[in-house]
Amino acid sequence: MELEKDNYIRADDNKRINTRFIVWLKKMDDCLSICTKTTGCQGGADTHKVCKINNVDTYKKLIKEFKY
């Protein structure tokens, strides 16, 4: 994924996330968990979710990172 300046993605909680601030992504079945805290995240409450069923375009864009 190319992290361009001011490139935003939509998360399931109707928030827009600037891709420059993504610290890590975690794949979970048909969803991705995204951490944007510089100090790290400690589970579901600290992360944003992007699920295939809710955000197909964003999910496809991010899932490319897991396919080599």
Instruction: Give pLDDT tens digits along the chain (68 positions).
Output: 554 556 889 999 888 999 888 999 898 889 999 999 988 888 777 899 999 999 998 999 888 877 65
Tokens of 61: 């864009």
Give pLDDT, residue 4: 52
* C-alpha to C-alpha distance for 44 and 28, rounded to whole angstroms: 12
Give pLDDT, residue 5: 55
Contact 7, 55 (CB under 8 A): no
Give pLDDT, residue 61: 87
